[in-house]
Structure 1
Amino acid sequence: MIRITGLLALAGLAACSTPGIDYAARVVPPNTAAVETRTVDVGRFDGPGGNWYAGRFEEMLASATFDGKPWFRMARYSDGYVPDGQRAGIYEGRIDIVDYRAEEYSQWVTKCVEWDGLFDCEHRAEVEEICLREDLQVSVTPRLIEYGTGQILFQETYFGDASNESCDEGYWHGRRGSHAGGGGYLYGLLGGVSPPRGMVLDALADTIYEVRGDIAPSNTTRRAVFVEEAIDPVVRADPRFEQAVKAGPKSPDFSCYVWEDMKAEYPDSPAVSHNLGACLEARGDFVAAHGMYAEAAEQSAAISGTGQPDEPFRKALSRMSYYRTGLQLIDRLTEPDRGWQPVPGGESLPGGELPEGELDGAPADDEAGS
């Protein structure tokens, strides 16, 4: 066993709230049926901004890349193109106004009312402005329909928001409202007034990127997360544990060398086993990492007294199972001799439910971030 000295200087290395090691990852979203459907067309999106959204949706599909190569092949079923022996589908959907609210208010501001020349104000005065504040929420529900069978392979609802505020001396009352009893106005949806088209498009724009993450694999940065506190008191008292945790983000090689050393000294420590598994994950040895996470989960279950591993160990084991299954799917879909042939099935990834917070196949707390 090699003793590590001089670690105290590493205590200030931790700059991120979630300790661990970042690495380049290839992430597959949970809906594998959508991932496998690589020959696609875009149909109609009903609702406000539908034509605009369909155009942007098609641009997103055409520009989606993975490992530097296009993921989708655009088809035109209306032009008579029929895929031969391939899973293919058409995206269509619906857009709805969830909520639209508008309100008027007035304010007094100081403005120049008489100019002596360019940038030379002769006289300023208090002027009343009428202001309009608008808030909008929209929803869009794209669905992927399999060509030939009509089966819905993917359907999800996404929400987008937009706000606008403007003030003007020449503003007229009720611009976003309608007359109500007593001479007043009702605004927004209450007044039967539709939101401005520009606001609708602004609210819809960001949903395109969310959809992209749910229907195609992504190249991203992922974090192999360390367990920050050891369950067993002997390991917890060893100063190398905390120091190696803090060293991970800035000095991963040295940190992993410490975990290897501690694993030899504390072979039954779930935290040490887990953190060594994180090192193996960051190095790309996912089989070995999976085995180490499984070992850590078993050790945690033995110590907990409940027969079940504590959450960090259970979550890491489940996440690695999903990740490896996703990598196997990518390999099958990108084999050169298979071309655009689909893999059989289309079921969700095995292994139970996704840990809470996962949107793109990777838990939110495993994403890199400072």
Structure 2
Amino acid sequence: MNKRILGGIAVAGLIAGIAHAEVLEIRGELAAPNREASLLRSISIDRIEGQDGEALARAIEQGLSGTHFSLMGGRAGRNNAEGSLTGGVTTGVDESPFRRREKRCVEKDSANQKKCIREEEVELRCRRRIVSVKADLRLVRNRDGRIVYSTTKPFTQESSWCEGNEGRPAPVEEVIADAIRNLGHSVRGDIAPTVSTYTIRVRESDKGMARDQAKRFKELVKLTKRDVRGACAGWAALAAEVPDHPSISFDLGLCAEQAGQYEKALELYHAAARAGASEGREGADRAIRLIAGREDAAIRARWR
């Protein structure tokens, strides 16, 4: 399984807020990209080395609040939690001068100060700044010492400004604080499942269908706006006439996904991908995570 692709599904694969497009709204639980870490019941956030280590630890704690994890601290936490998270964070700032030439207005219209009547190329004194933050984290399962999560999270922001220009960047302290907060919260997306409602656009291409079939297919696409169940039934009937069509297979995959029939959705998405629908691969990856999410939810339910 391609973890890099799956990790990006929540951002890139879930197409939300498409104006004037036919979409299906789906609610589901996607397994965490790192399933082994997600099946820990309790985590102790231990020492994170570095000047901003305490800030990063707080950001991780805030990011994991509201999840299924019991967060534990102090010596008792280290001794009793199922997992311990440690690491380090480094920050750096590199600022240097440079010069740039650009045209500037050197004479304005006396009657209209907004109008420039003469420009000259001038040399400006400028500065370039690079702010970098890198966090190295690992989560150890305490009962056997197995490292169940290990990651390096880099952040870099480059900015430049010149004398007389607007747009000077935010103070370094503010940039680093925002980066630490975002890096800390990103841990949640790595090791905690995601329950969300999202919309996926239906596939509308009727290429390869007979004229009458294409007309019916387009009508079913429009029907999704008011009667999704009817549209899904219509696509199922049309699939008997146009077997293995990429759009019909994909759209039926969406119907199955919306109904919680993830194994069926996976089969249909694979069929769509084999028929040439690139969306089918993303759908299959999503269905795999939904299947895993349901399995993991069943495991957590047994803890209660």
TM-score, normalising length: structure 1: 0.58
1:360 — aligned with what?
none
Give runs of aligned pairs for residues 190-339 of structure 1, distance below 5 A: 196-230=172-206, 232-234=208-210, 238-248=214-224, 252-293=228-269, 296-297=271-272, 301=274, 311-335=278-302, 338-339=303-304
1:55 — aligned with what?
58
Q: 1:81/1:205 Cα in 2 relative to 1: closer, same or farther (>3 Å)?
A: closer
Secondary structure of 2:63's aligned partner: helix
In structure 2, distance between residues paired with 1:242 and 1:24: 25
RMSD between aligned residues = 3.9
The answer to whether residue 21 in structure 2 is matched with residue 31 in structure 1 is no
Secondary structure of 1:33's aligned partner: helix
Q: Is the 8 A contact 2:22 2:224 kept in 1?
A: yes
Q: CA deviation at 1:324?
A: 0.8
Structure 1: which 5+ residue stretches go unaligned? 1-13, 66-70, 109-129, 170-194, 340-370
Q: Is the 8 A contact 2:93 2:129 kept in 1?
A: no
More helix by share: 2
Q: CA deviation at 1:154?
A: 0.5
Structure 2: which 5+ residue stretches go unaligned? 1-16, 105-124, 165-170
Which residue type is aligned with residue 137 of structure 1? S
In structure 1, distance between residues paired with 2:33 and 2:216: 38
In structure 2, distance between residues paired with 1:156 and 1:226: 35
Q: CA deviation at 1:251?
A: 5.3
Q: Is the 8 A contact 1:21 1:248 kept in 2?
A: yes
1:72 — aligned with what?
69
Q: Say which of 152, 160, 163 aligns to 1:157.
A: 152
Which residue type is aligned with residue 240 of structure 1? R
In structure 2, distance between residues paired with 1:252 and 1:22: 10
* Residue-by-residue CA offset, 1:7-26 (whole Å, 9 max, x unaligned): xxxxxxx9548753121221
Q: 1:282/1:240 Cα in 2 relative to 1: closer, same or farther (>3 Å)?
A: same
The answer to whether residue 90 in structure 2 is matched with residue 96 in structure 1 is yes
Q: CA deviation at 1:52?
A: 1.5
Structure number with bigger Rg: 1
Q: Is the 8 A contact 1:162 1:200 kept in 2?
A: no
Which residue type is aligned with residue 242 of structure 1? K
Q: How many positions carry a matched residue from both structures?
A: 262
Q: Is the 8 A contact 1:29 1:213 kept in 2?
A: yes
Secondary structure of 1:274's aligned partner: helix
1:174 — aligned with what?
none
Q: 1:244/1:160 Cα in 2 relative to 1: closer, same or farther (>3 Å)?
A: farther
Q: Is the 8 A contact 1:40 1:74 kept in 2?
A: yes
Q: 1:334/1:104 Cα in 2 relative to 1: closer, same or farther (>3 Å)?
A: farther
1:350 — aligned with what?
none
| Deviating more after overlay: 314-323 vs 46-55 | 314-323
Q: Is the 8 A contact 1:231 1:270 kept in 2?
A: no
Give the share of equivalent positions with the same residue, in percent: 24
Give runs of aligned pairs for residues 120-139 of structure 1, distance below 5 A: 134-139=129-134
Q: Is the 8 A contact 2:96 2:129 kept in 1?
A: yes
Q: Is the 8 A contact 2:206 2:214 kept in 1?
A: no
* Residue-by-residue CA offset, 1:93-121 (whole Å, 9 max, x unaligned): 12123663354889x9xxxxxxxxxxxxx
Q: Is the 8 A contact 1:48 1:200 kept in 2?
A: no
Which residue type is aligned with residue 69 of structure 2? F
Q: Is the 8 A contact 2:247 2:277 kept in 1?
A: no
Q: Is the 8 A contact 1:35 1:216 kept in 2?
A: yes
In structure 2, distance between residues paired with 1:21 and 1:59: 32
Q: 1:164/1:319 Cα in 2 relative to 1: closer, same or farther (>3 Å)?
A: closer
Q: Is the 8 A contact 1:277 1:289 kept in 2?
A: yes
Q: CA deviation at 1:327?
A: 1.2
TM-score, normalising length: structure 2: 0.69
